[in-house]
A = this chain, B = another copy of it.
Amino acid sequence: MESKVVGLLGGGQLGRMFLEAANRLNIKVNVLDAPNAPAKQISNHDGHFDGSFKDPEAVKKLSKTCDVVTVEIEHVNTQVLEEISGEVAVEPSWKTIRTIQDKYAQKEHLQKHNVATAESLPLESNTVEELEKVGQKLGLPFMLKSRTEAYDGRGNYPVKSSSDFEGALKALGQKPLYAEKWANFKMELAVMVVKGKDQVLAYPAVETIHEDSICKLVYAPARNVPSSITKKAQELAKKAVSCFWGKGVFGVEMFLNQDDSLLINEIAPRPHNSGHYTIEACPMSQYEAHLRAILDLHLDEEGVQPYRPSVMLNILGGASPQSAAEVAKKATEQSTALRVHMYAKGDARPGRKMGHITVLGSSMAKAEGLMKPMIDVVDEVRRSRTDIPAPSSGSSEPKTKQTKALVSILMGSYSDMPVLDAGVQILEKLGITYETHITSAHRTPEWMGEYVASAAPSGIKVIIAAAGGAAHLPGMAASHTYIPVIGVPVKPTIGDGTDSLLSICNMPRGIPVATVGINNSTNAALLAARILGVAEDEIAESIRDYAEGNRKEVMEKEAKMQQLGWKGAMQEWHAKK
């Protein structure tokens, strides 16, 4: 298809998945890495090179066989890349790789381009005195980091107080270091960015969960993060990548802080663990995106829109060399919904990335449910390890799941609660998540409008609003949103409720309210369920079950009436009264 040949430095799992994409498009990739490296195992031609991807001579030899040289790892020799770049394309540019290799230089570069990132200071000497100075400038705690050759948390040391100074220097003191202001984040996000010839595209902002400083889980898209923030994250990631040179995909990791601000944590100039989910979840995987970017093939937004929400779980080595294969085996036994990727790296060293599992769900809750048993399996494997010094710190523990509400129930005052309770009970019974709010069309018009407008972006699918008398809440809610609004007329103290019903039902053309019977929140809830059932098979299923229950109840009453006869039934009815 494409006659250009790609040269790849490194043939680990990222290289292997890159080769999968290249194979499908029939594009030749020559790999430089050790014999039988994971990527080489799925590419059978005589263009590969055995050797270290850091060896200048080997890199030069590889470069003579291809049209563009790229990397699956940033810890390469950028001197030789600079040298060969006169004769062959190097993507992304050696300048980008060199800047990113040195984490402090990376941060400095971002700050120079006004990209939000944690305040950082280089250490002039690896001494206790220098750490004291840094502590005064950045405050304590701060994070001490190796400027180079750091990945998967290796090279990071949290300095919580001055008593940590000596330990930190002992751990990292052999390397050039820098210090980073402590990030008070509530969540870690990541965005894969594609930098092509003339455009920059962002995949969704995903939520990453780290454990022992290694990526454990990826939720795509990030859970419970409003779209206003995920959009900001995508923009920040694009801005960050745009200030580097050359083409390719970039993994951008960032912190979402307590105040909802975002800070770039670090950038990888290559496919990234946080983008594995794209293989199944998006039309264009991050690997195909990298290939398209470096070969100047067409790029557009279609490919980065996910089909469905997904969860990715890493398979790390445990205590035994077979541990990862055992996890994979369990995944294949668990469910055929789980897509298992094994990297064929040989023995599973503790903590080594051996494979991953991706699952897509019709909803994030469905995907989470499918993955849950495998999280338990990898947690068990982790507990068997003896190489982990201590339980990981709070911030890297998996967050407890907050279930996102699908239905929002609005009422003008507490007094509407008894009317709505029956509906709430139906939602509970059907397993439909909901939230309830007091907001009045007349007494809090701004808050009502603001809340309703933000409901859909935050994941609400249907609104139920109850009101009595001059019942304006459902209609006003419908005016502030485009999702279905169900109106429950509440019978007022004076009158039979027809006023409420007509106030809700007779809306002007253009703004519909789905009106149910007076005080009938049961039907409002069931209608919400039917509406959600259009998108969610599981909910449709539970409505059928519920209806079947009702049908049975009536049929049982009928059977009883026939059994007791009219008089007997009448008697029983009086007795129960």
Contact = CB atoms under 8 A, between A and B. Distances in A.
A141 interface: no
Nearest to A543: B482
A371 interface: no
Given A283-B338, A342-B26, A526 B540 contact: no
Contacts of A533: 482-483
Interface centre among A341, A510, A535 (most CB of B within 10 A): A510
Interface string A489-507: 0000000001001100111
Contacts of A289: 336
A292 B334 CA distance: 13
Interface string A286-324: 001100100001111111100110000000000000000
A462 interface: yes
B515 A340 contact: no
B329 A283 contact: no
A27 B513 CA distance: 57
A2 B526 CA distance: 48
A341 B512 contact: no
A530 to B, nearest CB: 4
Contacts of A461: 534
B328 A283 contact: no
A329 B1 contact: yes
Nearest to A526: B512
A387 to B, nearest CB: 23
A328 B1 contact: yes
A482 B540 contact: yes
Contact of A332 (B45, B298, B523): B298
B505 A332 contact: no
A485 B42 CA distance: 54
- Residue from A23, A308, A501, A507 whose CB has the most chain B CB atoms within 10 Å: A23
A49 to B, nearest CB: 14
A42 B23 contact: yes
A128 interface: no
A283 B360 contact: yes
A520 B507 contact: yes
A569 B125 CA distance: 79
A298 B336 contact: yes
B517 A507 contact: yes
Contacts of A360: 283, 307
Most buried by B among A485, A506, A509, A532: A509
B304 A307 contact: no
A20 B23 CA distance: 10
A484 B530 CA distance: 5
Nearest to A336: B303
Contact of A527 (B280, B484, B535): B484
A59 to B, nearest CB: 22
A515 B505 contact: yes
Nearest to A337: B302
A40 interface: yes
Given A283-B337, A462-B534, 17 more contacts: A1-B340, A23-B41, A24-B340, A26-B328, A41-B43, A42-B42, A42-B43, A280-B283, A284-B336, A289-B336, A292-B332, A302-B335, A302-B336, A422-B509, A482-B544, A498-B498, A531-B534
